[in-house]
Amino acid sequence: MSTATREIHLASRPTGWPGPENFRLVETTLEDPADGQVLVRTLVMSVDPYMRGRMNDVKSYVPPFQVDKPLEGGAVGEVVASAADGFAPGDLVLHNYGWREHVLADAKALRKVETPAGLNPSVFLGALGGVGLTAYVGLFDIAAFKEGDTVFVSGAAGAVGSLVGQFAKLRGAKRVIGSAGSAEKVAYLTDELGFDAAFNYRDGDVREQLKAAAPEGIDVYFDNVGGDHLEAAIASLNLYGRIAVCGAISQYNSTEPTPAPRNLALVIGKRLTIRGFIVSDHGDRMKPMLAEVGGWLTEGKIRFNETTVHGLENAPQAFLDMMRGANTGKMLVELS
């Protein structure tokens, strides 16, 4: 008995900003699981900034998406049928075959999960998934955060950024400052997430706004955007300051290289460290992250907002909206 289902394929590679024309909704049919395979129905899938990079045909830290093939990404699903030991219908599984309503997957590519009491399965795409691990590793390992540090995070209302700021506060930051792209997001950071200060980078010069928000300078910068934010952070960093470079969303859609930061020579006199990282190198930190962040979540100490869109057919627009900053917190697509 085969299963009729739908997938989103990459129709063409975008140049600059992607648009709906780069995506295609495709109807297809899946066979029953062969030996070692599991048929999974997707419950919820993730759209993330890094996917923009995989749409280009360039060698990167993950292979590019293929034109006329389904896109990929983190998703949580429910087992429908199984021909693999250890998986039974109804099991909740985490996998990387997002952008499709069902997938016929090798059991080795699935991880069984159990949702902690009071939380939704989507938590594994957010605070207890790659997003949480990115914030955790970037702040605590790469940027070597320590109690008493003043922390600045850009893209602070986004999924990673909102966790970075809260993690820093929970571990004893002196002051946490965030930047975001609207007055609503700025209010969300200070009023709901407990940031000490926040500013709208569209309101004026980032360097001046950061100096005003952190008159005594910053010790850690968690960089989600690159560009003028990075330059502003270098200007405000104190001696021995550290930058974790997580993303450069301001440049993902550039066709020209970005000529910044112009003040990089300050890394010498200020003894700064700038370190890029990719979360997939740090799987060994998943266990301590789950323990510490899982604890904070069940104690209600962390707010993790989700913007949820419904239906696979709306996934491309959800991705495009996320790239333009329409979401607060994690952008998700529910398929059931």
- Nearer to a second copy by Cβ, of 77 and 247: the residue is 247
Task: Please report whether residue 317 would count as binding a second copy according to CB under 8 A.
Answer: no
Q: Which of residues 49-88 bind a second copy (CB under 8 A)?
A: 53, 60-61
As measured in angstroms, the least distance from the Cβ of 137 to a second copy is: 12
- The conformational region for residue 9 under phi > 0 = left, psi -120 to 50 = alpha, else beta, is beta
Shortest spacing between CB 251 and a second copy, in angstroms? 5
Residue 169 CA to residue 186 CA, distance in Å, equals: 17
As given in the structure block, the two tokens for residue 322 are 């996320």
Q: Smallest distance, Å, CB 197 to a second copy?
A: 24
Query: Helix H segments across the chain?
Result: 50-54, 130-136, 159-170, 183-187, 206-213, 227-236, 266-269, 286-298, 315-323
Binding string, residues 90-129; x marks residues near a second copy by CB under 8 A: ----------------------------------------
Q: Could you tell me the smallest distance in angstroms from the CB atom of residue 146 to a second copy?
A: 17
Q: How many residues bind a second copy (CB under 8 A)?
A: 33
List Cα–Cα distances, 80 to 41, 105, 113, 275, 301, in angstroms: 6, 12, 15, 43, 35
Are the C-beta atoms of 45 and 311 separated by less than 8 Å?
no
Nearest approach, Cβ of residue 67 and a second copy (Å): 21
> What is the maximum alpha-carbon separation in the chain?
68
Of the pair 258, 336, the CB lying nearest a second copy is at: 258
Kindly state the DSSP code that residue 5 receives in the 8-state scheme.
Answer: E
For the CB of residue 269, give the shortest distance to a second copy in the complex, in Å: 4
For residues 91, 96, 100 and 104, what is the CA-based torsion angle, rounded to 10 degrees?
Answer: -60
Q: Of 132 and 226, which has the nearer Cβ to a second copy? A: 226
Distance (Å, whole) CA 213 – CA 191: 16
Which residues from 189-228 bind a second copy, rule CB under 8 A? 226
Question: Of 36 and 283, which CB lies nearer to a second copy in the complex structure?
Answer: 283
The residue from 40, 81, 189, 230 that contacts a second copy (CB under 8 A) is: 230
Binding mask 244-273 for a second copy (x = CB under 8 A): -xxxx--x-----xxxxxxxxxxxxxxxxx
Which residue of 57, 205, 281, 313 would you call a contact of a second copy, by CB under 8 A?
Answer: 281
Residue of the chain from 276, 286, 294, 317 that contacts a second copy (CB under 8 A)? 276
With beta carbons less than 8 A apart as the criterion, state whether 203 and 212 touch.
Answer: no
Residue 330 in contact with residue 305, Cβ under 8 Å?
yes
Q: Which residues bind a second copy (CB under 8 A)?
A: 53, 60-61, 226, 230, 245-248, 251, 257-278, 281
